């Protein structure tokens, strides 16, 4: 469910007409619904109750500081994968004891940053990282709380580029080697082993892979405890998928996911952390664009719009589907026809949809790409010197620009011509 609905034939974000936002900020732009973000966060906290838990929003899915503050004020933790994301979480007012640091390539500078500013835990992904963190923490005279990310070799049955839990993926330590790595962690100075971390992929639409992974984690917890480790926290990652089309079978609900967690690890007496991103942010955002031209080709018609692959790369990068709808709804029974929806970037890959059945749109019409809140603005670039597009947050009947469109002067001024040219 989201809060983007037609009222009087015009698509609204909560109580704000998207036509009003477009008239104020121009197109293209991202628009997020505060009510949808709030509702989706609470779905997870309700699903995990009464287990002790912390829902850590995966910042990589949507990193605008205003969104992070909204979720942080609700009590959310944050899952960060870089020093920059850590800084964003702190700028949003999230305390360090609600921030977990994931990622395979943490630098010593990033470790130091988090230890100085406060951190709930590092999710350690390799033996070299374990040793580096021990060195940094010891040099600072502090203790770093850690989990170790184990790779359970479970097929998440998702796109190969977002699968993270198979043995050929770069993430985590093979689960069979975990006891030896935990033993090393216990010997190293400056580390406090608090738990286990696992994450098997993104956009999962079946609970079975989760069950396989969580059962392996439960067995490992019992084994590590028998070997003297005080395992008291389980970070089970994120990955629950969302419906990208209105016609698709719906993925499992957070309540079903929570029931699975309780069934597989709920008897261990551990605090549970999860790291949802897409399910909180995905359907909370849309991308609004304007038709520049309708081009009639030979056997193919094109809608050329003012958003492009640099604004929303998922269709080009993953072959991802986003429902595309007109902002102004036509009468019931209005004719439709297939269009290729493309952007102005000079790449054939700048294609959002092929032969998509859409109303007979014309130059100047507005369209919306649904379910664009996750991995949309965060993956955008300025390719072709196209400015990053505005982000807008709606709450009730008002909206605010939470990231402005930069001017061309601002973009070009970042370049420096050396004195010898």
pLDDT confidence of residue 298:
86
Question: Which CATH number describes the domain made up of 34-280?
Answer: 3.20.20.10
DSSP bridge pairs for 394: 33, 399
Enumerate residue ranges in the chain where pLDDT < 50: 158-159, 161-167
pLDDT confidence of residue 292:
98
pLDDT confidence of residue 297:
84
Domain boundaries, the chain: 4-31+282-413, 34-280
Beta-strand pair 53-58/271-274: parallel
pLDDT confidence of residue 166:
43
pLDDT confidence of residue 57:
98
Active-site choice (31, 56, 270, 346): 346
pLDDT confidence of residue 204:
85
pLDDT confidence of residue 162:
43
What pLDDT, in 10s, does the model give residues 136-167? 999 999 999 999 999 988 765 544 544 444 44
What pLDDT, in 10s, does the model give residues 87-126? 999 999 999 999 999 999 999 999 999 999 999 999 999 9
Could you confirm whether 56 is annotated as catalytic?
Answer: no
Q: Please give the CATH topology (third level) of the domain spanning 4-31+282-413.
A: Lyase, Ornithine Decarboxylase; Chain A, domain 1 (2.40.37)
pLDDT confidence of residue 155:
64
Distance of CA 223 to the CA centre of its chain: 33
pTM for this model (two decimals): 0.94
């Amino acid at each position: 469910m989201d809060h983007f609905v037609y009222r009087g034939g015009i698509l609204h974000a909560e109580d704000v007409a998207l036509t009003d936002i477009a008239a104020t900020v121009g197109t293209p732009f991202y628009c997020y619904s505060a009510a949808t973000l709030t509702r989706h966060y609470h779905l997870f906290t309700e699903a995990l109750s009464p287990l002790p838990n912390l829902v850590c929003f995966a910042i990589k899915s949507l990193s605008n500081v205003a969104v992070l503050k909204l979720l942080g004020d609700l009590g959310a933790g944050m899952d960060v994968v870089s020093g920059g994301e850590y800084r964003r979480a702190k700028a949003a007012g999230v305390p360090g004891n609600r921030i977990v640091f994931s990622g395979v390539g943490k630098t010593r500078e990033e470790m130091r940053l988090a230890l100085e500013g406060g951190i709930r835990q590092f999710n350690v992904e390799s033996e070299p990282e374990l040793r580096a963190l021990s060195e940094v923490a010891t040099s600072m005279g502090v203790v770093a709380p850690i989990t170790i990310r184990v790779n359970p070799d479970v097929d998440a049955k998702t796109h190969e580029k977002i699968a993270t839990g198979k043995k050929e993926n770069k993430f985590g330590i093979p689960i069979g080697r975990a006891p030896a790595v935990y033993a090393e962690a216990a010997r190293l100075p400056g580390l406090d082993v608090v738990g286990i971390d696992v994450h098997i992929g993104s956009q999962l639409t079946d609970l079975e892979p989760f069950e396989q992974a969580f059962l392996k984690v439960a067995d490992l917890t019992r084994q590590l405890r028998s070997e003297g480790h005080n395992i008291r926290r389980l970070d089970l990652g994120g990955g629950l998928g969302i419906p990208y089309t209105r016609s698709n079978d719906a993925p499992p609900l957070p309540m079903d996911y929570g029931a699975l967690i309780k069934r597989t690890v709920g008897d261990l007496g551990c605090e549970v952390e999860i790291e949802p991103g897409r399910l909180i942010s995905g359907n909370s955002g849309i991308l609004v664009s304007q038709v520049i031209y309708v081009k009639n080709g030979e056997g193919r018609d094109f809608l050329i719009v003012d958003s492009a692959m640099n604004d929303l790369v998922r269709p080009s990068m993953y072959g991802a589907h986003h429902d595309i709808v007109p902002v102004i709804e036509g009468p019931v029974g209005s004719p439709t026809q297939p269009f290729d929806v493309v952007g102005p970037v000079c790449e054939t890959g700048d294609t959002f949809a092929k032969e998509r059945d859409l109303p007979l749109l014309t130059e100047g019409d507005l369209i919306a790409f649904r379910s664009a809140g996750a991995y949309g603005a965060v993956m955008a670039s300025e390719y072709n010197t196209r400015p990053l597009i505005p982000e807008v947050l709606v709450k009730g009947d008002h909206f605010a620009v939470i990231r402005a469109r930069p001017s061309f002067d601002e973009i070009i001024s970042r370049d420096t011509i050396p004195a010898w040219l």
